[in-house]
Amino acid sequence: MKPGLFSFIGDEFENVFHYSDLFLPGIEKIAGIYFSQRDRQIRIFSRIRDHDIEDSFDEVLQKTENMVMIQKFRTENHQFAWIKKDDLPFEFSPQRLTVPTIFTELDNVILVLRFKNDADKLNDLLLIYFNQNLGNFGLNKADKVLTADHKIIIGHLLYYQFKSFLLLNQSNRRLLRTLNNGVRAVISENISLKEQLNQIQASYGDNMINVAQQHLQGLSKEYSRTYILTDEALNKIRDFKGNLKHLPVILENAIVFTENLLMLSGEEVVKIHSYSLDFDSYQVIEKTEQLTRKIDSRQSRAMQLLDKLEMAAIGLKNKNIAIISSKVGQALDPPISAPAITESLGKNRDLIRQLLEKYPDKWETIRKEFKPLINQLRKSEPDSFKEESA
């Protein structure tokens, strides 16, 4: 098991061996024969007390007769049994093996615990090597021999102890897998949204460049001079966050700036550099201004009212519905009455007038077509507004 991982990640039997000292202090040795769902093959583990885990049993598993006896031994259905070394499915003498195996213990009483493996439907085996007395359990009379009753009690307790550990690990792993699937779904969705956003941004940037190039071609024809944008200028236009309708003015100003700054001859190709593009005068409201807007609660409420009325008016206009108070009120969320709209506009008349002057490019629909707003502005500045609306 790798350090830093949950104890229930990986093969349950392998995890048992990492914590065997906690389960069975004093036991001389513990071994396991099980089918690994991860590796899709039989694996063998062994651990002597105060030693590392031993898993070098390839020589045992490579012999066909050994595998046949192991699989036959895994078919027995008793939950636990006490056996001697001679009762193991096969024996090996030291002369036939180059390394010690889990079957070379001398004269120990062995408790075999069997647990159903859902992958191959046979039993995984856990073998616990005891001495023939009660010294394993820290009792004073270490020379007292284990009786049949002792063995039944010990077998029963240890079987359910290890079974609960294995089942708890399986349950925790299933829960973690469910959580992992949820996290993967969220990550996948975020990646997909980011990709879509990048595509939209790239498409928007390309459209901005196309519009700029087309307008620049028109200006080149009009002034009988070839104007081109440098790579830095193209990148700057790609990132422009302002209103698209301002881009032609920005380009014309850039040409005037470049012509007056460089005083080029009539036959030269004129390069428009990024520093010639004045975006600051036409950029959308920045976050700092939005934060300032939130501080002034009255102004914020007035802006929210205008935003809601504008959205409702645009929706009605797209449906070819008259932009009147009653229809606009019904289109709001939540809906309000026409008198309520008039009352709200009247209470915030001065703030609304200031906002409309401060942001001339916003709320274009209700400025021109929503009579309750027009009437309120006439009340505050009748002469100037009549001239503007005429």
Query: Does residue 119 share a domain with residue 97?
Result: yes
Give tens-digit pLDDT for 292-348.
444 456 777 888 889 889 888 888 888 889 899 999 988 888 888 989 998 888 888
What's the pLDDT band for 231 if we cut at 50, 70, 90? very high
The per-residue pLDDT for 243 is 78
For 169, residues 6+ apart whose C-beta sits below 8 A from its C-beta are 7, 8, 12, 15
* Last residue within a domain, chosen from 245, 276, 307: 276
How much is the average pLDDT of 267-272? 81
The per-residue pLDDT for 72 is 85
Buried/exposed code over 205-217 (b: 16+ C-beta within 10 A; e: otherwise): beebbeebeebbe
Range of the domain at 52: 12-146
Q: Is residue 383 predicted with pLDDT exceeding 60? A: no
The CATH number of whichever domain residue 75 belongs to comes to 3.30.450
For 251, residues 6+ apart whose C-beta sits below 8 A from its C-beta are 212, 215, 216, 219, 272, 277
Q: Is residue 290 predicted with pLDDT exceeding 50? A: no
Query: Does residue 332 share a domain with residue 272?
Result: no
Give tens-digit pLDDT for 99-151.
444 444 344 578 899 988 888 889 988 888 876 665 555 544 555 666 778 88
Structural domain includes residue 177: no
Query: Does residue 295 share a domain with residue 272?
Result: no
Query: Does residue 126 share a domain with residue 235?
Result: no
Structural domain count of the chain? 3
The per-residue pLDDT for 294 is 46
How many residues can be counted in the chain?
A: 390
Query: Does residue 56 share a domain with residue 106?
Result: yes
Query: Does residue 236 share a domain with residue 319?
Result: no
Query: Does residue 128 share a domain with residue 85?
Result: yes
- Which 3 state secondary structure label does DSSP give 131? coil
Query: Does residue 22 share a domain with residue 129?
Result: yes
Are the CB atoms for 126 and 112 separated by under 8 Å? yes
Q: pTM for the whole thing?
A: 0.45
Structural domain includes residue 159: no
The per-residue pLDDT for 19 is 64
- Which 3 state secondary structure label does DSSP give 133? strand
Query: Does residue 123 share a domain with residue 48?
Result: yes
Percent of the chain scoring above 70 in pLDDT: 77
